[in-house]
Amino acid sequence: MKFVIENLSKNSGRLGYLVQQDTGKQFKTPLLLQTTKGGSIPYLSREVFDHVSKDCHVLQMSLATMDHMKEALTLFKGGLSGFVGFKDYPTVLTIRDPCETMPNGSNDKDIVPLFTRRGKETISPEKYIELVETFKPDIYQGLNDADTNFDSAKKRIQKSVDRTEIFMRFCYEQHSKSEILKKSCLFVPIAGGYNTFNRSQSIKDARANGGDLCGGYIFEGFHNYGLSASEVTSEQLLPIMAHCLKELLADSKPIMLPGAYTPLLVLELIKMGVDMFDSSYAYCAAVNFKALSFSWEEKEFNVNDTPFIDITDDCLREDFTPLLKDCLCLACQKHNRAYIHHLYKTSELLGPILLMIHNLHHLMQFFKKIHESIAADSLDNLIQLIKYQGGDKVVEYRITANTKVISKAGLGKGFVESKS
């Protein structure tokens, strides 16, 4: 993958595009990666996803949900995207599933823990490179220790940086020797938690040893994924990223932050120069029974407008309006709030399907608006609109776990029981 900067603005971030080498397809940045589980868009078949978008998207795949597919992929000759039914879609291979909370601990000197549906697995540098060579993604991240968050101690943060440097030495060596890996773009991890000194140490090592092998940078270690990413605040994250980006933006390489960051924080990061995000925010909202409803259009806001519609609310029982009045997604065009509330009550599988259709469509349209705003150098206006939504108080976009429990007889059929 090749990264090209098309437009650079001090006040609105940067517009660019990723170019897929084999096909020449271009993908605009800031880019919304489509998060997958086991290679599939959560809750959606390929045919249903085509109703969400006809465009070709970049797929984010995680080893946490796909490592068991190694043997099948070894025998399959059609490539990773073809194996999962999205032929010719570019792929980004990450280690962790951004949709699920990653437990702390389980670290060891020579391995990285991988939390899968089968339980905890371990990955050594040798095993990791072997997996990447089997998957053959367009982009893959380097092996790293990302087990840090806002509450991590200095000793844990320093260990994450030291272990990441050791892992990356092996990745650099293997990437330079392997003919298979040369066809993939290596995103170098920047570790260091919320410590500017440690982040600078990680950046210095990446530049000194990554060199021409580095195709981009990926920042982890700010949260434990899942809902914890939506709890990260601007006050916590932006000073650290401002410090790091000051050192990295001159490299003109794409920068990625995985996780379910809030729409407001995404905008603020884009303004600073971050290029790639994922769609796990849409999933985290859907599995907690929330439909995205924040607006990016200038309009007369209602005092009752909220960034989410909680479809568990009994007030929706006789609300026969769409989730959003002007939304063109399949869920809003064909169904109404009362019906989706009924699906929740009866634990029908169609419920989360419709919410994922709506939430993904909403995020995609949001990113189109972002592109327009950067091109017009008006991202600040969009930030203010998203931040206040026509009111005086900052809107809360954090996704909270829905603790309402469906009848036990219905669990596992459609909507799942949320964890508090």
Beta bridge partners of 37: 40
Burial call 108-140: b when 16+ CB within 10 Å, e when fewer: eeebbbbbbeeeebebebebbbebbbbbbbbbb
Q: How far apart are CA 123 and CA 274, in angstroms?
A: 29
19's tokens: 């170019």
Q: How far apart are CA 82 and CA 128, in angstroms?
A: 22
- Asked if residues 37 and 117 have their Cβ atoms less than 8 Å apart, the reply is no
Of 191, 65, 190, 188, give the one whose Cα is nearest residue 135.
65
Q: 52 vs 57, 287, 304, 329, 363, CA distance in Å?
A: 11, 18, 28, 7, 11
Q: For residue 98, is the peptide bond before it cis, meaning its omega torsion is within 30 degrees of 0?
A: no
Burial call 8-30: b when 16+ CB within 10 Å, e when fewer: eeeebbbbbbbebeeeeeebbbb
Beta bridge partners of 290: 310
Q: Is 108 left (phi over 0), alpha (psi -120 to 50) or beta?
A: beta
6's tokens: 């098309």
Q: How far apart are CA 166 and CA 168, in angstroms?
A: 5
Q: From start to end of 72-198, where are the E strands? A: 91-94, 112-116, 119-123, 139-141, 185-190
Q: Is 335 annotated as a binding residue?
A: no
With a CB cutoff of 8 Å and minimum separation 6, the contacts of 344 are 289, 311, 312, 351, 406, 415
Measured at the CA of 256, the angle between CA 184 and CA 51, to 5 degrees, comes to: 85
Q: From start to end of 250-395, where are the E strands? A: 255-256, 276-278, 290-292, 308-310
Q: Is 315 annotated as a binding residue?
A: no
Q: Is 327 annotated as a binding residue?
A: yes
Of 188, 238, 195, give the one whose Cα is nearest residue 218.
188
Burial call 159-187: b when 16+ CB within 10 Å, e when fewer: bbbbbbbebbebbbebbeeeeebeebbbb
Q: Is 57 annotated as a binding residue?
A: no
Query: What phi, psi does 160 have (nearest 5°)?
Result: -65, -40
Q: Which residues are annotated as part of the binding site for Zn(2+)?
A: 327, 329, 332, 358
Q: Which residues are annotated as part of the binding site?
A: 327, 329, 332, 358
